Amino acid sequence: MLASLLMAGCHRARHTTPIQDNSVTCLRTALKQSIAGSKSIFLPPGCLALLPGNTTVRHPSPEESAGALSSPSTFHALHRAYRFDRVFLLPGPSCALLRDHLLESPVWILSRVMPEGYLFAPTGSSPWHPPDATEAARLHPDPAERSQWLIATAENLIAIGYPDQAAALLELSAGPVEYQSRRLAALASLEASSGHWNKALEFSRQSLRLERANRAAILILIRALTETGHADESLSRARDLASATPDAETLFLLARAANAAGDHEEEISALRRLVAVAKKESQPAGASLLYLGQALARDGQRGEALRALDEAVRVPGLTEQQQRIILELREHLAPDKADGG
């Protein structure tokens, strides 16, 4: 049972994390466009300092915004106080929990997707539709700039489970040679999001032949190697990447690769480091603690597993599925505490 539960409930954003290489200038422009006509907007804490100095739009404080990103109930409390007419969220894991909550909410719609992030508006507003070739050319007449914009937007679409729209934009983005590695990495990510791991492996290798340091391609390559049965190569590459850049994403992949290779010691070590990174960066650590509890249980460390699961329960942001898994694991582990658990 424990093996089948391991790493269950993996966040959609783990399939592909968009490359956040947009300049401050681009983000300022996106924010300026997002607040146009708005009376009250929700923004991640890091965006508040980039607002124009003369803006009159209402918004929560950085502390309020930070709390809402890890707790949908806190967001709804803020919404009752501020009556947001816009919600702007960045790509990547920091906003993923609230982003996915709003995507499933009946009272919010996705009104815009851009390289810099996502814009939500109350139901009744116009929903976002991907641009066709004519509209893309009008928005970005320069072919190279257009290609970069299309690829970055497609990356953000893949992250939220919009594969058809992402595929359409990647088709339009074909052309400039300087962005082919990034485009191939996005195609690899698109295939991975649909579980087509052999295709993901092929595209990621093609991307890396053009740009050996393409992080997105390396991440997908490691995951694809794991999923296609190349556990030893996956673990070796994941170990090298996590050693060079020990962040939440690389440590999560290292834990998955170690699990696939049957290396429980390295899996547990990677998950402990993952929990530490989440706490250091003030990110929700509940899911990481759940994965750690599962790994410790598989390794026979019942007491340590129960302590990790008990800590996970106290952290906000767990999905209902993750909460059910914790209950099942605790019921499985709790009866016999002879080992000191």
The answer to whether residue 5 sits within a structural domain is no
Mean pLDDT estimate for the chain:
89
* Domain identity same for 175 and 196: yes
**Number of domains the chain is built from:** 2
Report the alpha-carbon distance of residue 247 to residue 242 in Å, rounded.
7
Domain boundary among 177, 202, 228: 228
- Taking only the tens place, the pLDDT of each residue in 298-330 is 999 999 999 999 999 888 778 888 889 999 998
Least confident stretch, 55-69, 224-238, 278-292: 278-292
Other Cβ atoms less than 10 A from the Cβ of 82: the count is 16
**Among candidates 338, 315, 313, 316, which has minimal Cα distance to 324?**
313
Output b/e per residue, 243-279; b: 16+ Cβ within 10 A: eeeeebbbbbbbbbbbbbbebbebbbbbbbbbbebbe
Q: What range defines the domain where residue 108 resides?
A: 17-128
Check which CATH number belongs to the domain holding 179 and give it. 1.25.40.10
pLDDT of residue 9: 35
- Taking only the tens place, the pLDDT of each residue in 55-85 is 899 999 999 999 999 889 999 999 999 999 9
Domain boundary among 228, 249, 278: 228
Domain boundary among 184, 206, 228: 228
